[in-house]
């Protein structure tokens, strides 16, 4: 019997999630759905559990020897190879609606370790008995033989795809190698040699996309949408300090924005900026004068400061003798506050409700002259004024 386990990527902190599961030959993880899926080739079934190993479920039973599993989470499907029955099959993620996609009648013999190219709607697999690598459409049509090994010289076990790089990788059990080729099977290369019967492979891939153009690929960038302004600007205050880009892909401005997002008050924000700039000065990134310039901008910023609002109500009469109340809401910098809901208590005791326009303005008809009172129910009473 075997255990289903996990650990940190460096091998530390090994945990047993599901004990005594028979023999697992293939694991796939749905992080968004919070599930682990695996094939079990002693009791010949497919199971899943929560990521912590709880709530183990039998999804598909009565198989002959399932080897390898791959998930199409967006499409709601799981794919596996049943080596014992010479089939590539799929089902819904809950195990319902099992389908035979490719069978022995299609010329496959002992298929293993399917891998999915969902962009191009392809499924790849290693054929254990024939010793080759093949692919087909996800519905099983258009089978292609990509690589032939002519046993016993080559024996592929395990398959992984790098779709961005246009490569497939596999473990060559007989030759003791990790090899790769283009996705069409051309340009076979030895990647690692001298191994002792390798049987599986997984890739840790980093994206080459660089969204913010800072020279650091998104997969290695802690701030893939960096603020790359030339100087550190805090809430409109330009400190004049160079906005240094660090090796982790974040700038000084990115770090200050993160502090603003995690602070609970203006005081805690300025304190956090003070700590950051002290560390930057200590590391020689900025000077004492530059530290003071950044801290001064943080202190002047309105970030997390209570705001005060000014409301202006004016009366006018149109050519038909109708009285109108014009509403205007501004912040303390005399900037319009747009799209704010209001309740206007009119002189006759009725209430008009509405939403300010993009200019922070609205207009209501007043049935009788007199005093009106306005309230903005979504404004914090500690930071806004009721007029």
Which of 157, 174, 192 is at the close of a domain? 192
CATH number for the domain spanning 187: value is 2.120.10.30
**Shared-domain flag, residues 34 and 183:** yes
The pLDDT tens digits of the residues spanning 33-63 come to 999 999 998 899 999 999 999 999 999 999 9
Task: Kindly state whether residues 16 and 165 are assigned to the same domain.
Answer: yes
Mean pLDDT, residues 120-135? 91
Residues 293 and 319 placed together within one structural domain of the fold: no
pLDDT at 11: 87
Establish if 88 belongs to a structural domain.
Answer: yes
Higher pLDDT, 127 or 385: 127
Q: Are 271 and 167 part of one and the same domain?
A: no
Same domain, 317 and 364: yes
Q: Does residue 147 sit within a domain? A: yes
| pLDDT (tens digit per residue) in 350-368 | 888 999 999 999 999 887 7
Q: What is the largest CA-CA distance in the chain?
A: 100
Q: Are residues 277 and 327 in the same domain?
A: no
Q: Tell whether 202 is covered by a domain.
A: no
Predicted confidence (pLDDT) at residue 152 exceeds the cutoff of 90: no
> What are the tens digits of pLDDT across the range 212-252?
888 888 878 899 999 999 999 999 999 999 999 999 999 99
Position 382 pLDDT exceeds 70: no
pLDDT value for 153: 67
Quote the percentage of the chain above a pLDDT of 70: 96
pLDDT at site 387:
35
Residue 315 domain-assigned? yes
Beta-bridge partners for 105:
none
Beta bridge partners of 237: 234
Residue found by looking up tokens 């990509």 in the block: 146
Is residue 371 located within the same domain as residue 292?
Answer: no
Picking from 240, 275, 300, the residue at the C-terminal end of a domain is 300
Among residues 192, 209, 236, the one where a domain terminates is 192
Torsion sign (Cα): 26, 29, 30, 33: positive
44 lies in the same domain as 138: yes
| Whether residue 81 is found in the same domain as residue 53 | yes
Total domains, the chain:
3
pLDDT (mean) for 103-112: 92
Per-position DSSP letters for 241-290, written without gaps between them: EE-PBPTTS-BHHHHHHHHHHH-SSHHHHHHHHHHHHHHHHHTTSS-HHH
Return d(Cα 201, Cα 243) in angstroms, integer.
42
Work out the mean pLDDT of the chain and round it to a whole number: 89
Q: What is the model's pLDDT at position 384?
A: 39
Let me know if residue 319 belongs to a domain.
yes
Question: Does one domain contain both 38 and 130?
Answer: yes
Q: In this structure, is residue 386 part of a structural domain?
A: no
Beta bridge partners of 90: 79, 99
113 and 172 together in one domain: yes
Q: Are residues 112 and 250 in the same domain?
A: no
Q: Is the residue at 213 inside a domain?
A: no
Residue 195, pLDDT score: 92
Residue 384 lies in a domain: no
User: Which pLDDT does position 254 carry in this prediction?
Assistant: 96
Q: Does position 176 have pLDDT exceeding 50, yes or no? A: yes
277: containing domain: 218-300
């Amino acid at each position: 019997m075997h255990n289903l386990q996990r650990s940190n990527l460096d091998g530390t902190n090994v945990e047993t999630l599901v004990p005594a599961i028979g023999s697992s030959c293939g694991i796939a993880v749905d992080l968004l759905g919070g599930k682990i899926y695996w094939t079990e080739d002693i009791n010949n079934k497919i199971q899943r559990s929560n990521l912590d190993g709880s709530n183990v479920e039998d999804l598909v039973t009565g198989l002959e020897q399932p080897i390898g599993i791959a998930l199409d989470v967006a499409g709601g499907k799981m794919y596996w190879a049943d080596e014992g029955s010479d089939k590539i099959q799929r089902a819904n993620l809950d195990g319902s609606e099992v389908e035979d996609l490719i069978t022995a009648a299609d010329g496959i013999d002992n298929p293993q370790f399917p891998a999915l190219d969902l962009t191009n709607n392809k499924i790849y697999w290693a054929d254990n008995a024939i010793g080759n690598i093949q692919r087909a459409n996800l519905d099983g049509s258009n089978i292609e033989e990509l690589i032939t090994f002519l046993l016993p010289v080559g024996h592929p076990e395990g398959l992984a795809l790098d779709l961005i790089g246009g490569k497939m990788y596999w473990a060559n059990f007989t030759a003791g190698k990790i090899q790769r080729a283009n996705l069409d099977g051309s340009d076979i290369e030895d990647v690692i040699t001298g191994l002792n019967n390798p049987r599986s492979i997984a890739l840790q891939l980093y994206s080459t996309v660089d969204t913010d153009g800072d020279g650091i690929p998104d997969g290695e960038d802690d701030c893939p949408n960096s603020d790359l302004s030339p100087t550190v600007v805090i809430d409109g205050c330009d400190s004049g300090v160079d906005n240094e880009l660090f090796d982790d892909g974040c700038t000084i401005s990115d770090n200050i924005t993160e502090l603003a997002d995690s602070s609970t008050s203006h005081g805690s924000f300025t304190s956090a900026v003070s700590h950051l700039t002290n560390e930057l000065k200590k590391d020689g990134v900025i000077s004492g004068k530059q530290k003071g310039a950044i801290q001064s901008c943080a202190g002047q910023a309105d970030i997390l400061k209570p705001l005060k609002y000014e409301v202006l109500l004016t009366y006018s009469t149109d050519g038909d003798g109708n009285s109108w109340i014009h509403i205007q809401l501004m912040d303390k910098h005399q900037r319009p506050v747009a799209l704010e809901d209001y309740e206007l208590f009119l002189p006759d005791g009725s209430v008009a409700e509405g939403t300010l326009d993009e200019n922070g303005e609205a207009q209501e008809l007043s049935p009788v002259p007199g005093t009106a009172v306005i309230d903005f129910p979504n404004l914090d009473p500690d930071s806004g004024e009721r007029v």
